[in-house]
Amino acid sequence: MKDKLHSKGVTSQIVLGLLVILFGLLFLLDNLDLIEIRRVVTFWPMVFIIAGTVKLCDTQSRNGQLLGGGLIGLGVLMILDRMNIIDFDIRTLWPLFLIGAGIFVLYKALESRRTPPGASLKDDAGPGSDVVDVAAILGGFERRVATQNFRGGEITAVMGGCSLDMRSASIQGEAVINVFAFWGGVTLKCPPDWTVVLQGTPIMGGFEEKTATPPHSEKRLVIRGYAIMGGVEVRN
């Protein structure tokens, strides 16, 4: 599982790096008067496409894939509108967000009904769950985890906030959490005997660790992912 997470993170970093290089080359060519791209500033919805692409490359869950695809779709629609190819007025079509949220809720409900009874404790994000998969979109999410065999998971905050309290939990060796904060924040509270390893990538955002040095390093919590104009804080 850890190798799979690592490979996914490397892929997303490559995609992100290529996108940043592309934008840098475009602005350099513009400064050299070789091309005219000053209108690119009006195409700020590219931020949604970049964030969605990074999420798709970094996620391991269907929820993450839906979110990444949704961000890319929103960015494409807004850019096509600015190019006068389509007429996309977000003030008129904002109910689409409600429809999308409803579809997401229905999907989660149907998925939970298909989950075998014996697997429910490991697949949900309740206090006894070994793996978390939570998301906060335009809202807040708070959850406590008390399992004694925490194995990590995935946390997403898009224009919202996620708070995960793991102070009553324990790790058998190492656990990995993939975080994705886009215009949002993630707060992780862990026990004092956990060693926290931050391997995240901030993009106009930040990763912050406010933990005391544990007496030993038998329990390791590895934090990977991205904070895009958002923040991730780990404390105990």
- Enumerate the domain spans of the chain: 2-114, 122-235
Q: What is the DSSP string of the chain?
A: -HHHHHHHHHHHHHHHHHHHHHHHHHHHHHHTTSS--GGGGG-TTHHHHHHHHHHHHH--SHHHHHHHHHHHHHHHHHHHHHTTSS---HHHHTHHHHHHHHHHHHHHHHHHHHS-GGGHHHHS-STT-SSEEEEEESSEEEEE---SS--EEEEEEESSEEEEE-TT---SSEEEEEEEEESSEEEEE--TTPEEEE--EEESSEEEEE-PPPS--SSEEEEEEEEESSEEEEE-
pTM: 0.63
pLDDT at 65 over 90: no
In this prediction, residue 156 carries a pLDDT of 86
In this prediction, residue 165 carries a pLDDT of 92
In this prediction, residue 22 carries a pLDDT of 76
In this prediction, residue 222 carries a pLDDT of 92
